[in-house]
């Protein structure tokens, strides 16, 4: 029975991991669809004439109006005309990190303090014209530690993204996945167990593309505790059922024994010569 419970909860844990992966991927897809609609609107509204204003900050203003944390406008030569998230990139060649076969996910340079960092983003693209010249408008949202932290809180599962090309994890700062130095992930999906920081985790992973894996992990001891609780409940229910059966047997035996005792008493009186005693079979 214990082995059956352990197997059952391992399967249940795997389902939780798969559900968490599906939830995170689904949310990323919804963000992409919203980005596509907003970027299409931005591309349609770019000015034909140069306005009085600061061109490098055009994307900042437009991105704020359309709730696009990441927004950039790139000219036909690949130079950044304006960027909300990389203001320092004005007139520099675009330096996005790309993934083969996946145009929606890009690694963007982002200003942070006095420096720059790289952040993964889901981006939509649309051709347009700015001041009569052809440009590409790209915009979207970041899929990084903040996004994964929110999804981990919603699903109750540790989530992270493994970037195989850059040999790094994208995960919340306290995530145990950051300690997994060389995950052996192959094919389109994977699952199993891994020891991280003295704790064994059950994990499931799915490849978003050839270089990015979304990974979900759940401590094995959570499953073990749940198995123990249910095993205790099962034993408690079995004990209660046994007590009920004993009580029922006692009550039933009393109902059976009473007429037998009465019949025996009447037989004894008849044998003793009591003329008033008659042996009568009990009804029923």
**pLDDT single digits (tens) 128-179:** 999 999 999 999 999 999 999 999 999 999 999 999 999 999 999 999 999 9
Length of the chain as a residue count: 284
Q: Where are the domains of the chain?
A: 28-141
**pLDDT single digits (tens) 137-146:** 999 999 999 9
Residue 228, burial from CB neighbour count under 10 angstroms (0-12, 13-18, 19+): middle
Tell me the two tokens of residue 121.
């983003």
Tell me the two tokens of residue 177.
């996945």
Pick the CATH number of 28-141 from 1.20.120, 3.30.450, 2.60.40, 3.30.730: 3.30.450
Look at 127 and 239; give whichever has higher pLDDT: 127
**pLDDT single digits (tens) 83-123:** 999 999 999 999 999 999 899 999 999 999 889 999 999 99
What's the distance, Cα to Cα, between the start and end of the chain in Å? 43
Cα–Cα distance between 24 and 187 in angstroms, integer? 20
Tell me the two tokens of residue 258.
């009473």
105 and 123 Cβ atoms separated by less than 8 Å: yes
Looking at the chain, the whole-number percentage of residues with pLDDT higher than 90 is 64
What does pTM read for this prediction?
A: 0.74
């Amino acid at each position: 029975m214990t082995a059956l419970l352990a197997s059952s909860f391992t399967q249940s844990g795997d389902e939780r991991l798969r559900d968490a992966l599906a939830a995170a991927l689904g949310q990323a897809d919804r963000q992409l669809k919203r980005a596509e609609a907003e970027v299409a609107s931005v591309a349609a509204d770019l000015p034909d004439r140069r306005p009085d204003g600061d061109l490098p900050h055009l994307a900042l203003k437009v991105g704020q109006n359309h709730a696009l944390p990441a927004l950039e406008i790139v000219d036909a030569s690949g130079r950044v005309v304006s960027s909300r998230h990389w203001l320092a990139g004005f007139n520099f060649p675009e330096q996005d990190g790309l993934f083969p076969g996946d145009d929606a996910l890009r690694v963007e340079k982002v200003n942070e303090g006095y420096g720059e960092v790289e952040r993964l983003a889901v981006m939509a693209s649309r051709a347009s014209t700015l001041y009569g010249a052809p440009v590409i408008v790209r915009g979207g949202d970041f899929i990084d530690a903040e996004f994964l932290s929110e999804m981990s809180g919603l699903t109750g599962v540790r989530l992270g993204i493994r970037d195989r090309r850059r040999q790094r994890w994208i995960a919340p700062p306290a995530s145990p996945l950051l300690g997994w130095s060389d995950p052996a992930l192959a094919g389109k999906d994977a699952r199993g167990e891994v020891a991280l920081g003295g704790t064994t985790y059950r994990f499931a992973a799915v490849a978003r593309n050839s270089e990015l894996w979304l990974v979900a992990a759940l401590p094995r001891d959570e499953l073990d505790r749940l198995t123990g609780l249910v095993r205790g409940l099962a034993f408690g229910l079995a004990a209660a059922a046994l007590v009920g059966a004993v009580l029922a047997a006692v009550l039933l035996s009393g109902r059976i024994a009473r007429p037998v005792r009465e019949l025996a008493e009447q037989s004894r009186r008849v044998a003793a010569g009591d003329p008033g005693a008659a042996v009568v079979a009990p009804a029923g």
